A and B are shown apart, each in its own frame.
Chain A
Amino acid sequence: MNMPAADSMTMVVHSGDLDKAMAAFIIGTGAAAKGTKVTMFFTFWGLNLIKKDGARKAKLSRMHMGGLGTAMIRKLMRKNNVAPLDELISDAADLGVRMIACEMTMGLMNVSKDQLIPEAKEIGGVGTYLDAAAGAHVNLFV
């Protein structure tokens, strides 16, 4: 029995880990492809993912092993035709996913707007996120 897709969903992307970011963007792009309005809010380590070149610098949460583990997973992903993270981020933008950078984290980590990828068009705070979450049926924290 298929349920209809949710009208809207939100995600707080707190982690900057490659594996968790993959999960976040696969769910986000998948939902957008099903016609769901998706809002992703990038805070703390998650902010690194929407910095220019940030997707390529992301490391595994476990078994990074000084870079060897992460390199191995990226190689396995290519072998299995799993899209790389930077491609999924660009797909998310193409599908109209709203990407918001956390203003507080930007101040804390001294990140300016021009250090962010152009796909992250908005800067916002907890209120911005909560407004989106209040109207959404699916709200995730990654």
Chain B
Amino acid sequence: MGMNCPKPLIETRKALRKMETGQVLVVEGDHRLSKDEIPQAIEDTGDEVVSIEETGPKWVITIRKG
């Protein structure tokens, strides 16, 4: 939360790199552009976006590592 470009994306990828296939990562943030940019980056590497939820300025993206 509160992070600015490009940290939400970087921290998401750093976390995914440490995970095993099939494990689930939940990312919470409030940087508006990252809500769209994180799912794009995830699909680029064959990981899966399970869900995207928004509550006001906050969003929660759930990712399954591919």
Contacts and interface: CB of A to CB of B under 8 A. Distances in A.
B41 A94 contact: no
B8 to A, nearest CB: 9
B6 A29 contact: yes
A81 B3 contact: yes
Contact of B41 (A5, A80, A82, A83): A5
Interface size class of A (residues with CB under 8 A): 10 to 19
A2 B37 CA distance: 10
Interface in B1-53: 2-7, 9-10, 12-14, 17, 40-41, 43-45
A33 B12 contact: yes
Interface of A: 2, 4-5, 26, 29-30, 32-35, 80-83, 91, 94-95
Contact of A33 (B2, B3, B4, B9): B9
A62 B44 CA distance: 36
Nearest to B9: A33
Contact of B14 (A4, A35, A81, A94): A94
A82 B40 CA distance: 22
A29 B10 contact: yes
Contacts, number: 49
Interface of B: 2-7, 9-10, 12-14, 17, 40-41, 43-45
A26 B41 contact: no
B3 A34 contact: no
A95 B4 contact: no
A4 B5 contact: no
A2 B10 contact: no
In the A-B complex, the 10 residue pairs with the smallest Cβ-Cβ separation, listed nearest first, are A35-B45, A33-B13, A5-B44, A81-B4, A34-B41, A30-B6, A33-B9, A35-B44, A34-B44, A91-B10
